[in-house]
Amino acid sequence: MSRADETYDNAHAESIFSRYKAELLEGGAFADIEQARSETFVYIESYYNRVRLHSSLDYSSPEVFERAYYQRAEGRKSLDE
């Protein structure tokens, strides 16, 4: 097990790339670099951050998790006032 500051620990990046390859490429390849950029952007912004459920976020999407976080923070802020 490596420490948090260990630059060689890339398990998180490998996890993302494995999902990318499995869900986006599906055995194919891009026609050119522009198609790769475009489809990668759409995948990340339209699906990975908005729809896909992440086990590390208690099986919610990053968008839903972030919205709930800020709602809880606002609730605590109003209690402090």
Q: For the residues of the chain, what is the DSSP string, one character each?
A: ---TT-TT--HHHHHHHHHHIIIIITT---SSHHHHHHHHHHIIIIIITTT--BGGGTSB-HHHHHHHHHHHHHHHHHHH-
Read off the pLDDT of each residue in 59-69 and give the average, rounded to a whole number: 91
**What share of the chain has pLDDT > 70, as a percent?**
81
Q: What is the pLDDT of residue 6?
A: 65
The residue range of the domain holding 48 is 11-80
Residue 4 lies in a domain: no
> In the predicted model, is pLDDT for residue 2 greater than 60?
no
For the chain, what is the domain count? Answer: 1
Residue 27 lies in a domain: yes
> In the predicted model, is pLDDT for residue 65 greater than 90?
yes
